[in-house]
Structure 1
Amino acid sequence: MAEETVVEKTWRGILDKLPGARRGEPAVIEAAYAETRLRALFPFPSHGALTLHRNTEFPWSNDLPFIVGDAQECIVYAPLHASERVLGESLTPREAAALVVAHLPDDCGPAFEGPWPPPSHLTD
């Protein structure tokens, strides 16, 4: 059996509410985890938002859409550098997760271990 990656351990810790794991809105976390492409990214719930990153250590990539919300209503925001700020609002967690997937760059995922930017051998 293969050893868990940092991304897999992080998702498991959040989903299973293990000691030391970050906490987020369960419905949003579960909806994001249900999406295969999002499950391959590093999850970082904080302050009512679920950000996803292409890497596992600070500094984060911060170049992907993210979700803010709860079980009833979510907003999907574009990355900070994007001209269009809100990608969708009044969404269910599942709709929000699907919208994030729809706005991921084609070359996105799985997350690599380490800080941003990616090692040169990953960008060649």
Structure 2
Amino acid sequence: MTEETVVEKTWRGILERHPEARRGEPAVIEAAYAEPRLRALFPFPSHGALTFHRNTRFPWSNDLPFIVGDAQWCIVYAPRGVTQRVLGESLTPQEAAALVVAHLPPDCGPAFDGPWPPPENSVD
């Protein structure tokens, strides 16, 4: 049996609502987890938002779209610094998760263990 990655362990803790795990809107968490590309990223629920990161430790990448909402409606926001801030609104959690996936950069994922920015590739 392979050892669970930090990303897998974090998703599992959130989904199973472990006492030490961060809390988020269950419907949004489940919809995001159902998307394989989002499941490969580091989830960070906080203050009604579910953000996704390319790395597992602070400082976070903060360069990906994110979801704010609940089981009834969601808004998908572009990452900071993007002119068109709202990518979609009045969405179901499933629609919101799909919209985030549609706006991920092609080179995105899986998340690496460590702080942002990514480690430089060493040349021997």
> TM-score normalized by structure 2?
0.97
Q: Which amino acid aligns with 1:37?
A: R
Q: Which amino acid aligns with 1:99?
A: L
| Shift >3 Å, 4+ stretches | none
Q: 2: distance between equivalents of 1:26 and 1:67?
A: 13
> TM-score normalized by structure 1?
0.97
Q: Unpaired runs of 5+ in structure 1?
A: none
RMSD of equivalent CA atoms: 0.9
Tell me the matched-pair count: 122
Q: Counterpart in 2 of 1:88?
A: 88
Q: 2: distance between equivalents of 1:31 and 1:40?
A: 14
Flag the structure with higher helix content: 1
Q: Deviations over 1:19-38 (max 9, x none)?
A: 20000000000000000000
Q: 1: distance between equivalents of 2:59 and 2:12?
A: 22
% identity of equivalent residues: 84
Q: Counterpart in 1 of 2:116?
A: 116
Is the aligned partner of 1:48 residue 2:52? no
2:121 is paired with a residue whose SS is helix
Q: Counterpart in 1 of 2:104?
A: 104
